[in-house]
Chains A and B, each alone.
Chain A
Amino acid sequence: MTDKDQNTTHAELIDELTTFTLAELCRACSVEGEYIEAMIEHGILEPLSERRPHYAFSAASLRRTRVTVSLQRDLGVNLPGAALALDLLERIAELDAQLERTKP
C-alpha cells in the first residue's frame, strides 16, 4: 500500500525466480499433496528440486496445476489427458506467438 493511494492493494510479483513449496502449491490450487505427486508421476510438473517432500516448484507449476484441476473438474479429463492438453496448449501458444511475429 502506498502513501499516496490508500486503496491500492499491494501485489507481490511472482517471477521466474519465485519457487513454491509443496504446501504452498497445494494451498494455492486447493489440492492434496498426493495429487501433486500424481502430477509429477505423469510429467505434468517437473520440480526444480526433487528431494521429496522438499520439492521446489517453479511459478509455471502454479498455472499447470490450476489448468489440470479445472480440465479434470470441468471436462472429465484424466491426468494423461491433461498432460497432453497442457503440452498442446503450450505448443499452440508458441505457434501463435510465432505467427504474430511473421504477420505484417
Chain B
Amino acid sequence: MCIRSTEQGNSVDYRDYYKILGVERDATQDDIKRAYRKLARKYHPDVSKEADAEERFKEVGEAYEVLKDVEKRAAYDQLGEQWQQGQNFSPPPDWDAGFEFSGGGYTSADAGFHSDFFEELFGRAQGGRAYGAGARGQGGRRGEDHHAKVLIDLEDSINGASRPITLRVPELSPDGHVQLRERTLNVRIPKGIHPGQQLRLAGQGGPGLGTGESGDLFLEVEFRKHPLYRLEGTDVYLDLPVAPWEAALGASVKVPTISGAVNLKIPEDSGQGKKLRIKDRGLPGKTPGHMYVVLQIALPPADSDSARALYKQMEEQLAFNPRANMGVA
C-alpha cells in the first residue's frame, strides 16, 4: 500500500497536471483525452508492471479530471504558469470566484483518492470510495469488501510471519468531508502460503452503514524476488553450479535448501540443465512442495599453463563435437 502524509493546512505541493499528462498548456480537449487514455492503459495497476503504477494511475486520473472539465481547467489555468511540479503552494484568496464548483460542491462517481493539492482547490469529495471497490452495493447495510496487495519474502512463507500493512481508508468526518486515515494492520502470514493465494481478513473492509457489519479485506500475496530460490506454486527451484568433473563423474555436494543444507548426490554423466528433485523440500504444507535443483555446469578458467594443458589433453583425447547435430561437419 502507499503511504502518504495527509497533513492539514493550506500549504500543499503544486501539481502540474499538463506535465503529468505530457501535453502542452494549449492542448485541445481531444489531445488531453488521447493523452489520458494512453497513460491510463499504461499505468493501470492490473496491467502495468511498473512498481509505482497505482500512484501514477491515480495521478493521471486526477490530472484528467481537472483538465477534461473546461470549467476546472480554466480555474486551474488561472493559477498561472510560474508554478513547478512539487512546489509549495497555497491558493490565492478568491482564486476560484466565479467558478461553479466552488464551495466544496465537487462530486464524482468514480474518483479514487485525490492529492491534497486537488482537495485544496476543488474541495473535498462528498463521497469517495476506496480503490478496487465497485460502486454498486448489494442493497444491504454491510460494508464493501476491499482488495489490496501484500509483498512478502520467501522466508515469511517458510516460517510464518507477521507483516504490518498500511492502508489508506477514506472516512467521513463529522462535517461531512471525506478524509483519508492511515490504518496499520498486523497480518499473520500463514506458513506455506504460495504465489497466487490470497488472504481474507474478516471485518477489515469498508465500514457498514448503521449497525451493518464491516466488509472483508482481501489481500493478494506477492513474493519479493529471492537471491537463490525461485518459486513455482509450492515448488522451489535452485540453480546449482557444478564443476564439469562433478557432472561427469558424479559427486556428493552440499546444497542449500529452504530448510537447511543437505547432501545431494549428482549422478554420473549429468548434463547441463539436468533437474534433480529433492522430495518434500519445497514450501511447507499439508502436501509440501518439492525442491528442484537445476545443474549449471561452470567452466574452469584456462588461466594457467596446467589448466590449458588439461584442456589440450581433452581436445586430443575426447572425440567430442558439441555441434554434431547442426548439420555442419
Contacts and interface: CB of A to CB of B under 8 A. Distances in A.
Contacts of B162: 5, 8
Contact of A28 (B47, B218, B219, B232): B218
Contacts of A89: 46-47
B6 to A, nearest CB: 22
B186 A30 contact: no
B40, B138, B198, B215 — most chain A CB neighbours (10 Å): B198
Give the interface SS of chain A, mostly helix, strand, loop or mixed.
helix
Interface string A4-46: 0101111111111000000000111111100000000000000
For this complex, into which size category does the number of interface residues on chain A fall? 35 or more
Contacts of A14: 197-200, 218
B197 A11 contact: no
B210 interface: no
Contacts of A73: 110, 134-135
B197 A28 contact: no
Contacts of A15: 197
B62 interface: no
Nearest to A26: B138
Contacts of B197: 13-16, 59
Interface string B135-176: 111100010110100000000000000100000000000000
A1 to B, nearest CB: 9
Contacts of B232: 97
B187 A62 contact: no
A14 B217 CA distance: 12
Contacts of A16: 197
Nearest to B220: A63
Interface in B7-60: 37, 40-41, 44-47, 57
Interface string A56-82: 000110110011011101110000000
B185 interface: yes
Contact of B187 (A9, A30, A31, A104): A9
B130 to A, nearest CB: 10
Contacts of B187: 8-9, 11
A6 to B, nearest CB: 9
Interface stretch (B91-99, B115-123, B188-196, B318-326): B188-196
B204 interface: yes
B193 A13 contact: yes
Interface residues of B, number: 47
B188 A8 contact: yes
Nearest to B109: A73
Nearest to A76: B37
Contacts of A60: 196
A83 to B, nearest CB: 14
B255 interface: no
Contacts of A7: 186
B204 A9 contact: yes
A77 to B, nearest CB: 9
Of the listed residues B142, B197, B296, the one surrounded by the most CB atoms of chain A closer than 10 A to its CB is B197
Contact of B230 (A28, A66, A74, A101): A101
Contacts of B136: 30-32
A11 B199 CA distance: 6
A63 B195 CA distance: 13
B201 A30 contact: no
A3 interface: no
Contacts of B135: 30, 73
A30 B134 contact: yes
Q: Which of B37, B134, B135 has the most CB of A within 10 A?
A: B134
Contacts of A8: 162, 186-188
A27 B188 contact: no
Given A28-B145, A63-B220, 8 more contacts: A9-B187, A9-B204, A26-B138, A28-B218, A30-B133, A32-B136, A69-B134, A73-B110
Interface of B: 37, 40-41, 44-47, 57, 61, 110, 132-138, 142, 144-145, 147, 162, 185-190, 193, 196-202, 204, 215-216, 218-220, 230, 232, 237, 239, 296
